[in-house]
């Protein structure tokens, strides 16, 4: 199934203070979803691959969720974030440090590792203590392809609605540019774009037109079903 996931900063405080914070979150997403190359994978023996904070702390998470879920869309905003994920395997397994195997619910474990790892990094970088996010993440199931497209558009339009960008692809802290300018930053692609683009004949221009077009009243009602904490969320 496909799920819209949302979380915001505690007491509506910022979850990202700087560009480096945004990049940390993106690095951790890539680490969990795709995995970073190990030293033995490096083209040059002397090359040192750039590992995010998770590598030494939790090396068993490197690419752990690659066979379990796909990221379809994401957007990081100053005080909250949105993810649209497709779960391929609801129950995953991981090897423990002692060699035993433990099972977990894919979405819950993915979000646990993502939020805990980012919170540690955020607090260390910004010399603060305490929780970063407002409790447990919120999630809504999106049951059909038509609604998935509407939610992806809503996610990608967040920076425009918040007057942080005039075009959604200009916001560097979402994956919208991955959709409308395919081939950009191929080594840092963490989103499976084929799922959404297949509804647009795999044509990025058609998707650009879709997210830039006027939202009808009916489309607005569809999106409304999947907006989480609408009365509290600051887009």
Express each pLDDT in 74-112 by its tens digit. 999 999 999 999 999 999 887 777 778 888 899 999 999
Query: What CATH number has the domain spanning 2-224?
Result: 3.30.70.1290
pLDDT of residue 25: 95
Closest CA to 229 of 7, 1, 58, 18: 7
Q: Give the model's confidence band at 35: pLDDT under 50 very low, under 70 low, under 90 confident, else very high.
A: confident
pLDDT of residue 39: 54
pLDDT of residue 53: 52
How far apart CA 81 and CA 4 sit, in angstroms, is 11
In this prediction the pTM is 0.87
Q: Please give the DSSP secondary-structure letter assigned to residue 153.
A: H
How far apart CA 65 and CA 49 sit, in angstroms, is 20
């Amino acid at each position: 199934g496909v799920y819209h996931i949302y979380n915001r900063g505690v007491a509506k405080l910022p979850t990202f203070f700087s560009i480096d914070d945004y990049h940390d979150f993106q690095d951790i997403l890539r680490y969990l979803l795709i995995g970073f190359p190990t030293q033995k994978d490096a083209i040059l023996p002397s090359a040192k691959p750039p590992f995010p904070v998770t590598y030494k702390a939790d090396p068993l998470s490197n690419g752990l969720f690659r066979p379990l879920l796909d990221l379809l869309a994401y957007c990081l905003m100053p005080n909250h974030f949105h993810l649209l994920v497709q779960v391929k395997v609801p129950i995953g397994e991981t090897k423990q440090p002692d060699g035993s195997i433990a099972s977990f619910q894919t979405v819950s474990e993915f979000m646990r590792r993502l939020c805990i790892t980012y919170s540690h990094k955020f607090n260390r970088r910004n010399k603060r203590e305490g929780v970063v996010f407002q409790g447990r993440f919120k999630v809504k199931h999106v049951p059909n392809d038509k609604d998935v497209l509407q939610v992806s558009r809503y996610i990608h339009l967040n920076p425009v609605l918040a007057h942080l960008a005039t075009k959604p692809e200009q916001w560097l802290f979402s994956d919208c540019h991955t959709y409308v300018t395919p081939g950009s930053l191929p080594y840092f692609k963490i989103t499976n774009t084929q799922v959404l683009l297949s509804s647009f004949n795999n044509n990025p221009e058609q998707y650009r037109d879709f997210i830039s077009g006027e939202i009808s009243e009916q489309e607005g009602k569809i999106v409304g079903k999947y907006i989480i904490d609408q009365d509290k969320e600051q887009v």
